[in-house]
Structure 1
Amino acid sequence: MATALVYHEDMTAARLLWDDPECELERPERLAAVLSLLRLRGLEQRCLRLSACEASEAELGLVHSPEYVALVRETQTLDEDELRALSEQYDAVYFHPSTFHCARLAVGAALQLVDAVLTGAAPNGLALVRPPGHHSHRAAANGFCVFNNVAIAAKHAKQKHGLHRILIVDWDVHHGQGIQYIFEDDPSVLYFSWHRYEYGRFWPFLRESDADAVGQGQGRGFTVNLPWNQVGMGNADYLAAFLHVLLPLAFEFNPELVLVSAGFDSAIGDPEGQMQATPECFAHLTQLLQVLAGGRVCAVLEGGYHLDSLSESVCMTVQALLGDPGPVLQGSMEPCQSALESIQSVRAAQAPHWTSLQQGRAPGPSPSICPTEGRPLPLLPGGPTGEAAALGLLGFHPTPASPVHMAVALTGPSATLALSPEVLLQEEVSVGRQETEAWARQHESLTQDKALSALGKFLFLADGILNGKVTCGIAAIPACAKAATLDVAIRQSLSRGAQRLLCLVLGELDWPLDIADDGRILWLNIGGKETAVRSAFHISTPLPGTTGGFLNYTLGLVLPLAYSFQPELVLVTVGPAQGLQDPHVALLAAMLRIPAAGRVLALLEEESASQLVTTLAPVLHGEAPPSLGPFLMASPEDIQTLKCLRAQLEPRWKLLQVASEAQGEAGSCHRVPLGKPPSGTNYTDQACS
């Protein structure tokens, strides 16, 4: 199945017929530029192309009043003076004789996309439409919007397909107040919007765009507003909003469908937004949404008025929907203080309505939860730094995909597993025996024939990923050789020039004794015996006890660390005693492939690999992970442990922050200086408050 791409050339027909500096931004060239670049990049050809059909007036009536639909219908016969007079009755709107036809096509495209995804004809898709829709009210046009495309699509999904939980993500730079008004008392639709607000001084100048507007009646908590109070928000700010606000709520809500009001005026270069998020950021946001709702993501174009920025951002979104690994997100991963203030405000406003944001307290601090052993936290050098570089929009090109997207190196009975034909199954291919023996020489457990054969296949696969011939892979090795193989994998990667390796160890496994803790390896052990932060690059914590605890750790620790570190390769080591179910491992793998541009190598124990391979292979290939099952709130102990871990690590990894320095976080660990640090270094440790 291919990603659906829905549009119609007729949607370029409506245009402004008089001088109006405010409205001239919304012009036909917006679609023409996007389509041109999609074709140039070969992306349209890879999609399931659907030609939009007009929505019926009954379908428009799912949201809009009959009187309003009739008024827009009548614009087909009005002359220019009459069109202008009618347009002036609304805020930032213009009408054209083709507006009714174009607006019906825009709604129809959104409905066709939803139908294609929910009937299984496509896994996901994008509707390229104009006019946009998210500002439109039940009985009024507003902000270039005539009919509310996404709101009608949500109503249609509920009525025709019987859905009960729909997530709408509005990443346009303007508040989609039309969607908010339509669903503000409806608990079946979770609406999230970030938007330029500036304390109410930015259009549409609404008090109900602020963080404390959370919905009405039964819908309280199902409207989530994240107001940006200054311009210049960049990649780190957008990621922090997803990791610390949207995704925790979305996992708890467990949507059956994700609709995206995909406005790209929130991208760099746009005159309306004045933000700094680069086009590849939208590939990352799209991939983060694809772990929800079985991957059923339907994006519908809203704003975006810088043609180059718009076109690049749409292409990045389509590549993500197609399953291509996105480019590594460049720039400093430190949210600005204004963004953190907004994030903390919305978390506080929503906490009464969502258990995933509620701050439980442990009965009391204990050394096993928050160690304060008198040693400072070493903040080692390493990892990318520096300010985000300005994007040369005209010269921007995505990194080409590897010739082989995924390879699997298995041994024993698991080698007979049925895998997708797009996955390369390595059977006899391996590096030379002499090279394999050289790597194995330091480990007795690798010298046995079976382990040596598995190591040769593993090294060949790792070489392929490091050389760019393979994007990701899975390797099975004997249980007795797991630690030794991981040690070899680290050494091999470093010898090939890798500077940043993320090692995610699920279960108990010690750091290789003679590998330097020098900032090139970020070692994260989940499922260890105790919580320990030996350096900013060496972290261990026991396995959380509930689904909510696992998600808290994934979104509040693992992903912020991964995005901050920006690994060249992620090594995931999984053993049978690691305590996680296969869907949990799959979700971790699916989410870690996003910051790593797809470069994930999973190392499994062959004795337990068979079932896990069938779960992991599709996920690493770009498919959605399976559901985690019912959401259970994290325990107070897990919440407090995570707070203490974050407090210890925030000085080095700024994306872990969920509040500004002025605000702090209720119930967090306060910093206690320990000892006298080496000259020129500012070390702190934490104790639980």
Structure 2
Amino acid sequence: MTTLYICHQAALLHQTPTGHPERPDRIRAIERVLEKERFSALVRETAPMAEMESLTLAHPEPYVVSLRDISPREGLVRVDDDTVMSPGTYEAALRGAGGAVMAVDEVMTGQVTNAFVAMRPPGHHAERTRAMGFCFFNNAAIAARHAQTRHGAERVAILDWDVHHGNGTQDIFWSDASVMYCSTHEAPLYPGTGALSEKGEHGTIVNAPLRAGDGSEAFREAMESAVLPRIDAFGPDLIVISAGFDAHWRDPLASLNLTETDFAWATMRLMDLAERHCGRRVVSLLEGGYDLEGLSKSAAAHVDALMGRDVRT
């Protein structure tokens, strides 16, 4: 079991206003916890910048160019009320997408068993032509499409356990039978999508909304009854995780009550499916998680599980 960890210091250069929850300290918290001795076996690489041909797997070229063109040389530019560009944002977003592509390459060619990409800004709210919810490029969608176009994957499953529904990923794959998008999330909550009735044109959208106050029992029940059987039946050639850790009970932006052990449990369950269907191939991409202690503990538990430590209890 070999796990690849991908990051880049450019993730620290994406600046947001004082008090903004999506801040550079998120990456510092993950980096610190993964310096512990038990993570010494991680294969560590730096994220490259994605090329246009990778970005346009999920976004039209004019959209990519528009983000490049509004990138400021100084100060901040607001894309919407929540989403801000600084001079370092565009490179950080390029490297987030590039890290996703690198992770897919390494996993699909068998160089490593699985991978975790810890970059910011996150990606799952980014629609084809719209940046929103702290997100600019949809890294999970780019990863899935890259696996298909470069490595011949016929079916890719994306599981998004971020507390906010990944409207962007759902938007991109709504009419695509070759990619299954599954989401557990709190509802009602930003961005207001993710109802049970939203199933996509081919029934490959699987939403399992949770209610404010729900914890481990409700999350695991949703996974066991609604999500995991669908992924199992789909039989993916690659599993991509949109790994947001803001469903943790400490997180300030939502009201679910998961613990780091729940994320480890979910990781192990997905690894079981990956072993059954796709040669253990799993690519995990950081999404949300805004309490630094909850984030660092959850990311550590997630990586522990990816490295093969059974921490499901």
TM-score > 0.5, shorter chain as reference: yes
Which residue of the other structure, out of 282, 295, 301, is the alignment partner of 1:310? 295
Calculate the TM-score normalised by the size of structure 1: 0.44
8 A Cα contact 2:116 2:284, kept in partner: yes
1:296 corresponding residue in structure 2? 281
**1:320 shift after superposition:** 0.5
Instruction: Tell me how far 1:273 sits from its aligned partner.
Output: 2.2
So what's the TM-score if we normalise by structure 2?
A: 0.95
Does residue 205 (structure 1) correspond to residue 200 (structure 2)? The answer is no
The residue number in structure 1 matching 2:174 is 184
* Aligned partners of 2:186 and 2:256 also within 8 Å: no
Contact 2:158–2:180 (8 Å) recurs in 1: yes
1:90: Cα distance to partner?
2.6
Change (3 A) 1:190 1:41: same
Tell which has more relative contact order, 1 or 2 (C-alpha 8 A, sep 6+). 2
- Aligned counterparts of 1:294 and 1:267: Cα–Cα separation in 2: 30
Is the aligned partner of 1:113 residue 2:109?
A: no
1:103 Cα deviation (Å)? 0.2
1:146 aligns with 2:146: no
Alignment match of 1:255 (pick from 228, 233, 236): 236
Rg bigger for which structure? Answer: 1
Deviation at 1:42, TM superposition (A): 3.1
Which secondary structure state, in structure 2, belongs to the residue aligned with residue 299 of structure 1?
Answer: strand
Distance 2:309 2:132 in 1: 36
Change (3 A) 1:96 1:77: closer
SS for the counterpart of 1:39 is coil
Q: Does 1:30 align with 2:26?
A: yes
Per-residue deviation, 1:91: 4.8
Structure 1 position 106, deviation (Å): 0.3
CA contact (8 A) 1:75 1:97 kept: no
Say if 2:3 and 2:115, in contact at 8 Å, map to a contact too: yes
Equivalent of 1:42 in 35, 38, 43: 38
8 A contact 1:131–1:144 mirrored in 2 = yes
Q: What do the CA deviations read for 1:546-575 (whole angstroms, capped 9, x no partner)?
A: xxxxxxxxxxxxxxxxxxxxxxxxxxxxxx
* Structure 2 alignment gaps of length 5 or more: none
Cα deviation digits, residues 350-407 of structure 1 (max 9, x gap) = xxxxxxxxxxxxxxxxxxxxxxxxxxxxxxxxxxxxxxxxxxxxxxxxxxxxxxxxxx
Partners of 1:289 and 1:295 within 8 A in 2: no
For 1:192, give the aligned amino acid.
Answer: C
- Equivalence for 2:94: 104
Once residues 285 and 58 of structure 1 are traced to their aligned partners in structure 2, the CA distance between those partners, rounded to angstroms, is 32
Kindly provide the amino acid, as one letter, of the partner of residue 102 in structure 2: Q
2-side partners of 1:166 and 1:197: how far apart? 25
Q: How does 1:28-427 map to 2 (within 5 A)?
A: 28-43=24-39, 45-80=40-75, 83-84=76-77, 87=78, 89-198=79-188, 202-206=189-193, 209-216=194-201, 220-228=202-210, 230-292=211-273, 293-326=278-311, 328=313
Residue identity (%) = 37
* Cross-structure match for 1:430: none
CA shift in 2, pair 1:29/1:148, >3 Å: same
Rounded Cα–Cα distance in structure 2 between residues aligned with 1:231 and 1:294: 36
The structural deviation recorded for 1:318 is 0.5
CA–CA separation in structure 1 for the residues paired with 2:225 and 2:10: 41
1:265–1:305 CA contact under 8 A, matched in 2: yes
| 1:78 shift after superposition | 4.1
5+ long unaligned stretches in structure 1: 329-689
Report SS of the residue matched to 2:172. Answer: helix
CA RMSD for the aligned pairs? 1.4
